[in-house]
Amino acid sequence: MTEPTAGVPTCYRHPDRESYIRCQRCGQPICPDCMREAAVGFQCPSCVSEGAKATRAGRTTYGGIRSGKPGSVSVTLIGINVAVWAAILPTGGAGSRLVDLLALRPNGLCQLGPGHFDVARSACLANGGTWLPGVADGAYWQLITSAFAHVQPLHIGFNMLALWFLGPQLEHVLGRARFVALYLVSALAGSVSVFWLSGQYQLTLGASGAVFGLMGALLVIGTKMKADISGLWGWLALNVLITFMPGTNISWQGHVGGLLGGALVAAILVLAPRGPRRGTVQWAGVAGFTALLLAATALRVVQLS
């Protein structure tokens, strides 16, 4: 083996080989075996590997981290909905205690025998009744859990099919974290609308508010990107028509609230100015809207109490 001449640069990976070529990124000398052709000159294997990682972890159009598996969050959400539905069915379906706990009821109600009574919780329990909790008496979790609860197979089927089609597109454009925020805040907006506009003892459940939020978000993003969204407008119009058809027993309050909430969240995300502070502006805007929804909830609780 020939010893390298003193003072002559050698390959950083093969010290026994003289090298007069340097990596264009890190500047280290590299031998012919370590040269990797780049857009300009050559790079070393380490820099090529780092560049590949950076590319895979690139940013989406609106600042989110690009997912290596687009659609994975949507599949997870579908799995949660199906798991809750599978737990409700064998425990009584529409009469399941899980429905009483997870579905959204604006105000608590006492079930005593075949009847329901508007009495205090203490009086209900003292007389052997079953208390059906509501948001106004402390069941705040229902604002979110109701969006994951279903009873009828067609109900969960249509909602999950819509999530399957809409979710991955939004994940790809927004990134995982922003998509999760969009979904949950849309669900919350739909629930707050139900809390204000429905009867105080009416039971509401289903992911429709969140799904309508995804529709609203796609309309905003498609408009911003100047895409052809005529098909989405048609799909939305059909769903709105079904929502307001007599006898369908569909919560129009949740649909409208979710649609407007999703559109507003999307507007916050896509209209935030580009630059290093875009993420801060986006998350501050989403947090501000969420705070308004929680304030509206608190005001309604006071009113019902």
Please identify every residue annotated as catalytic. 208, 255
> How far is it, in rounded angstroms, from Cα 258 to Cα 254?
6
Residue pair 142/134 in contact (Cβ under 8 Å)? The answer is yes
94: CB partners within 8 A, 6+ apart? 151
Tokens representing 9?
């640069």
Q: Which strand (E) or helix (H) includes residue 30?
A: strand 29-30
Within 10 angstroms of residue 242's Cβ, the number of other Cβ atoms is 12
> How far is it, in rounded angstroms, from Cα 259 to Cα 256?
5
Q: 5: which DSSP letter?
A: P
> How far is it, in rounded angstroms, from Cα 189 to Cα 296?
10
Tokens representing 192?
């707050």
Within 10 angstroms of residue 31's Cβ, the number of other Cβ atoms is 19
Coil, strand or helix: which one is 92? coil
Residues in the chain: 305
Strand order from edge to edge, sheet including 115-117: 115-117, 109-112, 130-132
Q: 106: which DSSP letter?
A: S
